[in-house]
Amino acid sequence: MLSTSEFATWATKVVLFLHNTSRADDEPYPTLLQEKGGNGFPTVCYLDADGGLLKQVGHVTPVTELETAWQDLQAWTALRAAVAAGKADAGKQLELFRMELAMGNRPFAEMVKRRQGVVIADSEEAAVEQQLVNLQFTEILRGTPRDQQQVGGERFVAMFREQRIPDTTTETSYWQYMFAFAKHKNDVALFEELLAHLKKAKAGDQRLTR
């Protein structure tokens, strides 16, 4: 996709930044892919002027998807500016909350606090709660060094005890990091508990077999 003339034409809308995750000794941003939530090559993201993640589009992405994400960001920018200027009613504030929760570009603590200030329909409660779980998980995952999985795993165990289980595409890391924590602590009981849960919850899942 990156080598097509269609992409070259479309790309005049943005400032391109290509990060080569080569693990070279002099790489100035060795953990950038992880920090932005990527788990495959290539990962396409929109960043703000300070490098903050605005929206992750995905892996090998058609230009049409890039354009859709671009249009979504324009709508988000306008709505956020209206709310910040006090020109939006409660309905627009709820719309912004939903949009940013789906985008996952705001801190978990902020979104939990804002959740208290909007009225969510009963039919949406479960979906909103799951998105908050996913945001919490993703934030911990991005902040955990890949060579210290047990650190994130300890926090994931706390989530697991509260039955807060993510359903994102990177969900396998949730279990992987908890197993790493159990191994680090030589906690056989926890390891067996996690394995038993997975065997029941993921019965038939080929990833578990592997």
Query: CA 57, CA 62: separation in Å to the nearest integer?
Result: 10
For 44, phi and psi rounded to 5 degrees?
-105, 125
Residue 32 has pLDDT above 80, yes or no: no
**R_g over Cα of the chain:** 19
Q: Which two tokens stand for residue 18?
A: 């290509």
d(CA 145, CA 152): 8
Q: What is the pLDDT of residues 124-154, one digit of tens each?
A: 999 999 999 999 999 999 889 888 999 999 9
Range of 78-82, 84-88, 155-159, 197-201 with top mean pLDDT: 155-159
pLDDT tens sequence across 64-79: 888 888 898 999 899 9
Please give the average per-residue pLDDT across 94-110, as a whole number. 91
The pairing of strands 53-58 and 44-47 is antiparallel
| Residue 134 buriedness (CB in 10 A; 0-12 / 13-18 / 19+) | buried
pTM for the structure as a whole: 0.80
- Separation in Å, CA 123 to CA 32, 160, 209: 37, 24, 36
Q: What's the one-letter identity of residue 134?
A: N
Amino acid (one-letter) located at 33: L
Q: How confident is the model at residue 60 (pLDDT cuts 50, 70, 90)?
A: low
Q: How many residues does the chain have?
A: 210
* Residues of the chain above pLDDT 70, percent: 95
Q: Which residues make Cβ contacts (< 8 Å) with residue 1, sequence separation at least 6?
A: 7, 60, 61, 62, 63
Q: Exposed, middle or buried: residue 51 (CB in 10 Å: 0-12, 13-18, 19+)?
A: exposed
